[in-house]
Amino acid sequence: MKFSAVIAAISATAAFAAPGAETSPNNFGAIEKRASFPIPASKGTVTYKAAKAVSGTFDGGLKTYGRGVKCTGQAEGGDKDAVFILDNGATLKNAIIGADQIEGVHCKGSCTIQNVWWTAGDTSTITGTCATSVKEVCTEFQGTTPGNEPKKLRSGPSTACKYSTLKAC
């Protein structure tokens, strides 16, 4: 009887000591290092004096695009500070948005952003859009400086994200 009680106690301890689901390599909560995404090699540099308006499709040819200005940190700009302003239905593809900009890409409604890479700064702003099955979306993400990234990813609301309710289509 004592022997079976000891075996039962050891088995129970082993069950409680087993790793939880959060340590599964298939669970993002277990990731200790951010994934690195190598930015493609730039095939040239283009600096705009004003925001480039796109109404159709703009293929950037994997060049780096900027505005020739210094990033203003967390201070927000506007359309006048964007590198690209995409009209409703426009497409921006094969471009690298450089660090010499304040606002990146502004999308006015439904737009397509394909194979576009950002090196720094405000990446994109989407206005005048709606969603059919989404109630909230992270519309502004205030990132962090290199080296201060969180060690673990998580789900749920983030203090770095500004959530906005989207109107129904």
pLDDT digit string, tens, across residues 80-98 = 888 999 998 999 999 999 8
DSSP 104-134: -EEEESS-EEEEEEE-SS--EEEES--BSS-
Model confidence pLDDT, tens digit, residues 115-164: 888 887 556 666 665 555 555 555 445 555 666 655 555 555 555 555 55
Contact at 8 Å (CB) between 68 and 100?
A: yes
Domain check: are 141 and 87 in the same one? no
For the chain, how many structural domains are there in total?
2
Query: Does residue 87 fall inside a structural domain?
Result: yes
Domain check: are 90 and 156 in the same one? no
Domain check: are 135 and 124 in the same one? no
In this structure, what are the phi and psi dihedrals at residue 82, rounded to the nearest 5 degrees?
Answer: -70, 155
Contact at 8 Å (CB) between 109 and 128?
A: yes
Identify the domain containing residue 141 by its residue range. Answer: 130-169
Q: Among all chains, which residue has been given the structure tokens 């995409």?
A: 86
Domain check: are 62 and 122 in the same one? yes
Domain check: are 114 and 154 in the same one? no
Query: Does residue 116 fall inside a structural domain?
Result: yes
